[in-house]
């Protein structure tokens, strides 16, 4: 019954996956009758087996082009399910062992550490597979309460993660999960969350909580609540744990300093081979988090529910440009669930969003008679029993319509793109939605507008997305046409 380390462990093969599933199922069935000490041993062996078998598969999944889309989806979902199942089994085993005096506390805490590890991994892999199981925050907080009750939350132990030996405390593993959870709701891609996770492992010493808020910018976990990290001190009665954000911001800056020196952090492991774009994206997201954006004090546009009217959604610059011309292209229609001055939330099916990712440029026809409003996907996540949630940030002022424009370069080549006027009449906040390729050229362009031909140069990026950027520009000169 015990899972053998001789099992062929490479989970890209379906036979190996089946072997593992059988080993898991046997342990699950035998668990109620099994002596607790034995249960702990079997769980630890099963966990090691899962980690061994996943190392290469996970790397392959995060390397573009190695797997077919079907294999990618299948394996992503399988990995997510295994982490989730093992985490649930682990939680039961921890409570069973904690209640049995024959199992020493150190062994129970080891089970607890491994369980936290897999809660975190299942959160991470939601980005690949979508969220298919509701998050069980009370169970997660319950495990932390157990560690605190045993006074073991700060105890350091060794773990093997993705084939690498790591040391971590229980509070570090708990906070890792809660921080990953904060980002698993959509703003990061699977590559980016891998980078974030690698940094969280590096920053273990700063992942410590305090039982009281004694000033400073903090996030807190309310141990009696059904929720993840929240900002600021708790105003209601109850037990909370506080995480200081200033030391984490210092560590984020240290990563930037290393990049200035030409070093990626960490220099080994899966994250080290991720593109620099992923590192920069995480740095920017963390900057927001560590400066308190999203806290109750930070301003948030008021939400308003929608009546469920479908909205035309144009995907990518080409569709948007076509919609700005005389021939109106066929556009998909999505239903916004809520809206604010800054964005929309759409809830939709798999099929309608399969080519939409975080960073995709969208045109939203808020009023069917008017040009579309420009938007950028900032969140894409699958929610249990609800479908795909697409969060869209509005990029253009709906009161000043976007329009098609054609820039002519010195060589006479013309580039069709979207002009995005700012709301300010000075023109300081005007932009063009351009292809990345255009940004690297540092060329001068000509554009006829009204009675003049303007010469301009793109000189800054205001927003960026997948293969496009909203570029600011300066007018170099104007001549009568």
Query: Do you find a cis peptide bond into 63, omega within 30 degrees of 0?
Result: no
Residue 264 CB, shortest distance to other proteins, in Å, is 6
- Residue 235, interface with other proteins (CB under 8 A)? no
Alpha helices in 261-299 (DSSP H): 276-290
Nearest C-alpha neighbor of 18 from the set 7, 29, 28: 7
Which of 387, 443, 461, 467 binds other proteins (CB under 8 A)? It is 461
- Residue 292, interface with other proteins (CB under 8 A)? no
Report the DSSP beta bridge partners of residue 449.
Answer: 452
Residue 442 CB, shortest distance to other proteins, in Å, is 8
Residue 208 CB, shortest distance to other proteins, in Å, is 24
E strands of 133-217, at which residues? 156-161, 164-169, 209-210
- Residue 156, interface with other proteins (CB under 8 A)? no
Per-residue x/- mask for other proteins, residues 193 to 222, rule CB under 8 A? ------------------------------
- Residue 446, interface with other proteins (CB under 8 A)? no
Contact (CB, 8 A) for 394 and 378: no
Scanning residues 378 to 437, which ones bind other proteins (CB under 8 A)? 398-401, 403, 405, 419, 421-422, 425-430, 436
Q: Is the Cβ of residue 112 or residue 255 nearer to other proteins in the bound state? A: 255
Angle 249-237-95 from CA coordinates, rounded to 5°? 80
Instruction: Report the chain's C-alpha Rg in angstroms.
Output: 25
- Residue 13, interface with other proteins (CB under 8 A)? no
Scan for tokens 């690498």, then name that residue.
Answer: 164
Q: Is the Cβ of residue 237 or residue 450 nearer to other proteins in the bound state? A: 450
Q: Is the Cβ of residue 378 or residue 452 nearer to other proteins in the bound state? A: 452
Half-sphere exposure of 66 (CA within 13 A, CB side): 11
Question: In this chain, which stretch among 293-301, 306-314, 345-353, 457-465 interacts with other proteins, using CB under 8 A?
Answer: 457-465
C-alpha pair distances (Å), 184 with each of 92, 135, 367: 24, 11, 32
Q: Is the Cβ of residue 78 or residue 419 nearer to other proteins in the bound state? A: 419
- Residue 341, interface with other proteins (CB under 8 A)? no
Q: Cβ atoms within 10 A of the Cβ of 334, count? A: 23
Non-local (6+) Cβ contacts of 386 within 8 A are 347
Greatest alpha-carbon pair distance for the chain in Å reads 91
Q: Is the Cβ of residue 1 or residue 341 nearer to other proteins in the bound state? A: 341
Nearest C-alpha neighbor of 241 from the set 174, 151, 169: 174
What is the C-alpha separation between 58 and 124, in angstroms, rounded? 12
Scanning residues 360 to 379, which ones bind other proteins (CB under 8 A)? 367, 370
What is the C-alpha separation between 55 and 33, in angstroms, rounded? 32
Q: Is the Cβ of residue 48 or residue 461 nearer to other proteins in the bound state? A: 461
Question: In this chain, which stretch among 98-106, 194-202, 329-337, 439-447 interacts with other proteins, using CB under 8 A?
Answer: 439-447
Which of 37, 145, 234, 462 binds other proteins (CB under 8 A)? It is 462
Scanning residues 269 to 288, which ones bind other proteins (CB under 8 A)? 276-277, 279-280, 287
Contact (CB, 8 A) for 311 and 427: no
**Site of interaction with other proteins (CB under 8 A):** 256, 259-264, 276-277, 279-280, 287, 367, 370, 398-401, 403, 405, 419, 421-422, 425-430, 436, 439-440, 442, 449-452, 454, 456, 458-462, 464, 469, 471-472, 474-478
């Amino acid at each position: 019954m015990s899972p053998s380390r001789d099992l062929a462990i490479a989970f890209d093969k379906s036979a190996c996956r089946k072997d593992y599933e059988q080993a898991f199922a046997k342990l699950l069935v035998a668990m109620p009758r099994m002596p607790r000490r034995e249960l702990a041993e079997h769980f630890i062996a099963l966990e090691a087996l899962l980690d061994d078998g996943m190392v290469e598969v996970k790397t392959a999944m995060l390397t573009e082009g190695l797997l077919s889309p079907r294999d990618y989806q299948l394996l992503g979902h399988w990995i997510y399910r295994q982490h989730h199942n093992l985490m649930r089994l682990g939680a039961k085993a921890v409570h069973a062992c904690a209640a049995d005096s024959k199992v020493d506390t150190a062994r129970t805490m080891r089970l607890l550490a491994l369980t936290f590890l897999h809660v975190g991994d299942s959160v991470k892999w939601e980005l690949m597979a979508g969220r298919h199981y509701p998050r069980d925050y009370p169970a997660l907080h319950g495990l932390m309460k157990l560690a605190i009750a045993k006074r073991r939350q700060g105890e350091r132990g060794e773990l093997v993660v993705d084939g690498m030996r790591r040391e971590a405390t229980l509070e570090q593993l708990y906070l890792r999960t809660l921080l990953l959870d904060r980002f698993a709701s959509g703003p990061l891609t699977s590559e980016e969350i891998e980078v974030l996770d690698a940094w969280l492992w590096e920053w273990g010493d700063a992942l410590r909580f305090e039982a009281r808020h004694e000033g400073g910018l903090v996030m807190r976990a309310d141990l009696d609540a059904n929720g993840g990290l929240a900002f600021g001190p708790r105003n209601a009665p109850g037990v909370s744990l506080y995480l200081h954000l200033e030391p984490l911001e210092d560590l984020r800056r240290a990563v930037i300093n290393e990049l200035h020196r030409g070093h990626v952090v960490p220099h080994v492991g899966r994250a080290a081979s991720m593109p620099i774009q992923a590192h920069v994206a995480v740095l920017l997201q963390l900057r927001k988090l560590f400066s308190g954006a999203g806290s109750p004090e930070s301003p948030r546009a008021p939400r308003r529910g929608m009546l469920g009217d479908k909205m035309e959604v144009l995907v990518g610059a080409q569709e948007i440009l076509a919609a700005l011309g005389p021939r109106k292209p066929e556009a998909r229609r999505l239903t916004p669930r809520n809206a604010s001055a800054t964005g929309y939330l759409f809830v939709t099916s798999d099929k309608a969003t399969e080519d939409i990712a975080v960073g995709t440029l969208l045109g939203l026809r808020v009023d069917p008679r008017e040009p579309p409003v420009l938007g950028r996907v900032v969140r894409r996540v699958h929610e249990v029993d609800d479908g795909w949630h697409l969060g869209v940030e509005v990029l253009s002022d709906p009161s000043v319509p976007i329009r098609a424009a054609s820039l002519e370069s010195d060589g006479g080549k013309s580039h069709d793109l979207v002009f995005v006027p700012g709301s300010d009449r000075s023109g300081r906040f005007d932009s063009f939605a351009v292809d990345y390729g255009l940004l690297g050229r540092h060329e001068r362009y000509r554009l006829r507008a009204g009675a003049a031909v303007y010469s301009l140069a793109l000189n800054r990026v205001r927003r960026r997305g997948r293969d496009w950027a909203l570029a600011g520009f300066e007018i170099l000169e104007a001549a009568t046409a």
